[in-house]
Every structure is written in C-alpha cells, then in structure tokens.
C-alpha cells in the first residue's frame, strides 16, 4: 500500500456481527474521541454499529501522521495486539459519531473459542492488518544502526522474529543520518530505537520488548502473552541468521494447513484449535 488507507479486508456478515455484539456493551462514541492511542498498555475490540473510525500512525521524528485504515458501520476495530498483549502503536480516532460495541480482551478470547466461524474471519483480518501495518506503519518503531554490528543484528532478528511492524534505517543512509541528527545520537549509542516517539539509546531486544509491553527472556523461549490460560502460551518461532526483508508463516488462520507449535506438554483439543491462529 503506497498511498491511502488499507482495503477493508475480511468482514462479518450481519448475523455474525449481531452474534459477536452479544459479548460486549453498546456505547456512544462522539466525533474526535480516541478509542485508544499509541502507547496505551492495552485496548478493547470495537464493533462499529453507526460510528466511523480512522486508524492513524502518529507523527514521528521524520514523518507526519499517516492514515492507515478507515473503518465504517459494520466494520470492526482490532489487530493482533489484542491477543499478544503488546502495547498499542496506532491511534483509533472517531471521525463520525455513533454507536460502537466495546468487547474486552477476555470476552473476545471467549468469543473466539466459542464462535469458530467468527474466529476464522477475525484471525484472518488480524493477520491481514498486521501485514498492512508492517508495510505502512513501521515508523511506530524505528531502528537505526550499523548493519554489520552484532548488537544491530540481534535487535533486527528479534523484531523480525516477532513480526513487529518497524522501519530499519542504516545509520549511513540519508534517512538514517537524518534520524541520527534529529535524535542527537552518537555513534557509540547505536543501535537506537524510536518507540512511539520515545528514544532508546543502545537499544537491546529486552529494552525494546519492555517499551512495547512484551515479555522478554534471553534464552529464546519467551512467551509473549498467555491468552488461553497457563497452558496456552504464544511461542515465538525460531529465528537464526540475518533477518530477511519479509518474514511470514509465523501464524495461520484456523482451518489452514499450517499450525503453530504447541507449548511443551500441551494437548490439542477442539477448543484449542480455535486458538491456534496466534503465534507471533
């Protein structure tokens, strides 16, 4: 997506929309209100009954605010962060006042477990939106450094492994020099990360994880979050060598051939299969 907002993608039909609405509470959203903003620790899922909402990436040190998605009546607002527990890096702004249905994270997980057809659509939409955000909203997380430095490789491998939307800038490139200059970075402070406008000097995977609200453990076995109870963990896929430009196959929608690896000792059940879509 080079210009303009992302296409709508997978949608719920009227009956599915009404069924999912039973899991939440109807409320009035006035124009200009933010349903959630970048940097929030968590947010809720929203069904748009009559309201319209823009999803925007906030302005960064080197780029202005950018419109990512336009949601209208019959649409829903939510992305993979709802299931991983990652901090919010986009803002949802009401542009046309109306009614919305707010569904909290716990109730959304219940809906995904109980309504398999709805889960298929939501997970497919979450996946598509994550790919759009990777392409269009990467400046919510900007990395700058020397490409051949071990610290830089470790950081880039980490964010690529978790499919975190980000922009990578070589410190020697024109855009990299611009960010280094704006941020007042010294060479010994690289790699650095700009997370929702906050600068992390000498950035490490742990520091970036903490800034984004993720769990980090250095042995590579870190669960990002637990959203199906203690036995249901989200495990990052193995990642070795240099990060590639595009990393896929980290999670799949229910019913697809590929399945995410199960946590050690866990068993597959009909309920767990509806939750097999998350593996970031």
By CB neighbour count within 10 A (0-12 exposed, 13-18 middle, 19+ buried), where does 146 fall?
middle
pLDDT in tens, 63-98: 678 888 899 999 999 987 787 777 777 899 999 999
pLDDT in tens, 207-235: 988 887 665 655 444 333 333 333 233 33
By CB neighbour count within 10 A (0-12 exposed, 13-18 middle, 19+ buried), where does 122 fall?
buried
Model confidence at 19: pLDDT above 50: yes
The domain 139-249 having CATH identifier 3.40.1280.30: the answer here is: no
Domain boundaries, the chain: 14-137, 139-249
- Grade residue 241 by pLDDT with cuts at 50, 70 and 90: very low
Pick one of 3.40.190.290, 3.40.1050.10, 2.60.120.10, 3.40.47.10 as the CATH number of 14-137.
2.60.120.10
């Amino acid at each position: 997506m080079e210009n303009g907002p992302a296409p709508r993608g997978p949608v719920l039909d009227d009956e599915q929309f009404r069924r999912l609405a039973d899991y939440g509470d109807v409320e009035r959203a006035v124009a200009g209100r933010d349903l959630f903003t970048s940097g929030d620790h968590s947010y809720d899922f929203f069904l748009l009954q009559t309201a319209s909402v823009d999803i925007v990436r906030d302005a960064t040190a080197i780029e202005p605010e950018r419109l990512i998605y336009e949601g209208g009546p019959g649409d829903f607002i939510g992305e993979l962060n709802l299931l991983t527990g990652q901090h919010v890096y986009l803002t949802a702004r009401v542009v046309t006042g109306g009614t919305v249905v707010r569904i909290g994270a716990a109730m959304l997980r219940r809906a995904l477990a109980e309504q398999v057809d709805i889960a298929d659509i939501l997970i497919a939409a979450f996946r598509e939106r994550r790919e759009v955000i990777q392409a269009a909203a990467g400046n919510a997380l900007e990395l700058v450094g020397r490409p051949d430095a071990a610290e830089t490789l470790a950081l880039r491998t980490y964010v690529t492994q978790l499919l975190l939307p980000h922009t990578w800038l070589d410190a020697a490139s024109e855009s990299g020099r611009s960010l280094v200059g704006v941020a007042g970075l010294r060479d010994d402070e690289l790699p650095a990360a700009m997370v929702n406008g906050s600068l992390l000097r000498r950035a490490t995977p742990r520091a970036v994880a903490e800034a984004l609200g993720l769990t980090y453990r250095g042995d590579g076995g870190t669960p990002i979050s637990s959203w199906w109870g203690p036995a249901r963990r989200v495990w990052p896929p193995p990642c070795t060598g240099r990060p590639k430009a595009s990393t896929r196959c980290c999670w799949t929608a229910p019913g697809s051939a590929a399945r995410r690896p199960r946590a050690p000792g866990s068993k597959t059940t009909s309920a767990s299969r509806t939750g097999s879509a998350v593996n970031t």
